[in-house]
Structure formats: C-alpha cells, structure tokens
C-alpha cells in the first residue's frame, strides 16, 4: 500500500519539477537584449496612440464566466451521452438535475438582466 502512495508522490514531484525546469531553462537560454522597441506596447501590429490602459466593463467578464459554465456543462454531458445506453434511470435523473441547476442559473442571470448588452 505504501508503494502506491510513493508512486503518487513521485508523480507529484515530477509534475511540479518539469514545468519549473522548463521555465528555468528558458530563462537561462533566452537572449537578454532589451531595447525601447521591445519594451513598447504592441497591439495587433498597430502602434498605440495615447493611453494604452483600458478598463473593461465587468459585463464582459460575466459573459466569459457564463460561457465557461456552459462549456464545462458540455464537457460533462458528452461522456454521459456516449454511455447513455449503459446507464440506468439514476444517471438520467442526475443529468436532468444537473442541467436543471444550470438552467436555473441561466434564468437567474437573465432575470437580473446580466445578459443585456449595453
């Protein structure tokens, strides 16, 4: 039993060490030649004019959050749909409950007019 935990420990160490080693190697091997052209703000190939800091409306983040919620829903519904013939009534009830909860959240956002584009 201890060997199973040792395997998980080694896996965790490798999982943390691998990205750190990659970042350190990139930091050591990168060219270090800063100049004003490299430090300037660059946006889609066009030189910026004026203030480059723009404050976005919180509404955009709400759209992104709702998109992520329903994207994750699709990630959960797809495997369920693939294995639908092998699952029982309990799985059907659970999926209906899952979708109902998400639809409840969508209706709440809709009634609070969080989805109106202003």
Residue 117 located in a structural domain: no
Query: If you average pLDDT over residues 89-112, what whole number do you get?
Result: 88
Q: According to the model, what pLDDT value does residue 62 have?
A: 79
Full residue range of the structural domain in which residue 18 is found: 2-47
Name the maximum alpha-carbon separation found in the chain: 65
Residue 18 located in a structural domain: yes
Q: Which of 53, 55, 69 is nearest to 114 (CA)?
A: 69
Q: Mean pLDDT score of the chain, rounded to an integer?
A: 83
Higher pLDDT, 114 or 6: 6
Higher pLDDT, 83 or 50: 83
How many structural domains are present in the chain?
Answer: 2
The dihedral region occupied by 113, where left means phi > 0, alpha psi between -120 and 50, and beta the remainder, is left
Residue 52 located in a structural domain: no
- Give the whole-angstrom CA distance, residue 8 versus residue 27: 29
Q: According to the model, what pLDDT value does residue 80 have?
A: 84
* Residue 78 structure tokens: 């797809």
Query: If you average pLDDT over residues 86-99, what whole number do you get?
Result: 88
Do 43 and 63 lie in one domain? The reply is no
Residue 118 located in a structural domain: no
User: Binning pLDDT at 50, 70 and 90, where does residue 35 land?
Assistant: confident
């Amino acid at each position: 039993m201890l060997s199973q935990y040792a395997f998980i420990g080694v896996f965790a160490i490798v999982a943390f060490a691998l990205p750190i080693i990659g970042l350190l190697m990139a930091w050591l091997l990168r060219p270090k030649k800063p100049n004003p052209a490299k430090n300037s703000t660059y946006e889609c190939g066009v030189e910026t004019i004026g203030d480059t800091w723009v404050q976005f409306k919180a509404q955009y983040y709400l759209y992104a959050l709702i998109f992520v919620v329903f994207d994750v829903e699709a990630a959960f519904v797809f495997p369920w749909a693939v294995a639908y013939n092998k699952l029982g009534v309990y799985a059907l009830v659970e999926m209906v409950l899952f979708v109902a909860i998400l639809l409840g959240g969508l209706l709440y956002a809709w009634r609070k007019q969080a989805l109106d584009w202003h």
